[in-house]
Amino acid sequence: MKPKVFITRQIPEAAIRKLEETCEVAVWKYEDIPVPRDVLEKEITEASGLFCMLTDSIDAALIQKANKLKVISNLAVGYNNIDIEAASEKGIKVTNTPGVLTETTADLTFALLMATARRITEASDFLRAGEWKTWSPMLLTGQDIYNRTLGIIGLGRIGEAIARRAKGFNMNVVYHNRSRKPEAEESIGLTYVSMDELLQTSDYVCIMTPYTNETKNLIHAEHFKMMKENAILINTARGGIVNEKDLYDALINGEIWAAGLDVFEEEPVPLDHPLLTLPNVVTLPHIGSASISTRSIMAEVAASDLLKAVNGETPVHLVNP
């Protein structure tokens, strides 16, 4: 009998076909919304492999229901949606998709930085609303990017890729990380600084840490008070790393100039969220790695690691070795 695999959302066909070669595959594809909990609870009891999304909460209670599960393969580099400890206790492997989304996510992060600095969405809305009466010297003026300082909090693969882009714009790049990265400092031209110095000196503060118990609420009121009045906060990591209430207050009180957010504590962000009322907040619906090519490669990588684990081999991107 073929091992069963459950995929929690429609993914690129090539990845499904690859899994179908050796597994019995079921896909939740009725609506492009997260699979209902009751369906997931039923499917996980018999599945050998679970192919899931960052929108699926794979918690301890769910994992307890798994009888045959060998692997949980997450279509993302972040895996804060999975209870790793509970999976490890049951001997279930967890995999993610690092590396293949680095450049695409860095592209999006830099696009968001530029859009926020130069008020791109606000300007586009202004034109379409018929408010463009004449060219005007200070109309929709934003912040410069070249020669400014970018501070990156969390220098992993994506942080480094953003730093390389920033260097192309002649930016001064500083970073703060749990450990120093002398090679990156040397090859890209980065300066390691304390968190306080980064916040006090950066024109752009880019959040690039993973979301863990330690980084939950990492950036809050105290930090916004340290930042420059012209500073722009960019977050394409996870919403919960930044205290959204404190960010709102900092923007309203003019402690910082603007924010570009691809991620929110609650996703989809409720439409009555206070941050959505501010013109100096540029928002995106968590699309950091969303290029056709990258999402297809992520699906292939996740499928390939799932198959390895189901066949008793060690996956390439194992989160809980």
List residues near ligand DGY by CB under 6 A: 54, 76-78, 101, 288-289
Contact between residue 239 and residue 217 where contact means Cβ atoms under 8 Å apart: no
Structure tokens at 293: 């090519």
Cα 218 to the center of its chain, rounded Å = 15
Closest approach, Cβ 79 to ligand DGY, in A, equals 8
Decide: 38 and 21 in contact? Cβ < 8 Å. Answer: no
Containing H/E element for 199? Answer: helix 195-201
For ligand DGY, which is the closer residue by CB, 79 or 257? 79
Residue whose structure tokens are 């189901």: 310
At closest approach, how far in Å is the CB of 320 from ligand DGY?
17
Q: Among this protein's residues, is 286 annotated catalytic?
A: yes
Q: Considering beta carbons, is residue 3 or 288 the nearer one to ligand DGY?
A: 288
Contact, 101 vs 80, CB < 8 A? no
If the CB atoms of residues 51 and 224 are measured against ligand DGY, the closer one turns out to be 51
**Residue number with CB closer to ligand DGY (82 or 282):** 82
Find the helix packing angle between 13-20 and 292-310, rounded to 10°.
10
Catalytic residue among 9, 286, 295, 317: 286
Cβ–Cβ under 8 Å, residues 65 and 38: no
Nearer to ligand DGY, 151 or 239 (CB): 239
Provide the token pair at 80.
Answer: 């804060």
Q: Is 267 one of the catalytic residues? A: yes
Q: Quote the CA–CA distance of 232 and 204 in Å, as a whole number.
A: 5
In whole angstroms, the minimum distance from the beta carbon of 238 to ligand DGY comes to: 7
List phi, psi (to 5°) of 235.
-130, 110
Q: Least distance (Å) from ligand DGY to the CB of residue 157? A: 11
Asked if the bond preceding 12 is cis, omega within 30° of 0, the reply is no
Distance in Å, CB of 54 to ligand DGY, minimum: 6
Of 238, 244, 295, 317, catalytic: 238
> Per the structure block, which two tokens stand in for 139?
């109309």
Q: Please give the Cα distance from 26 to 20 (Å, whole number).
A: 9
- Which residues are known catalytic residues? 238, 267, 286
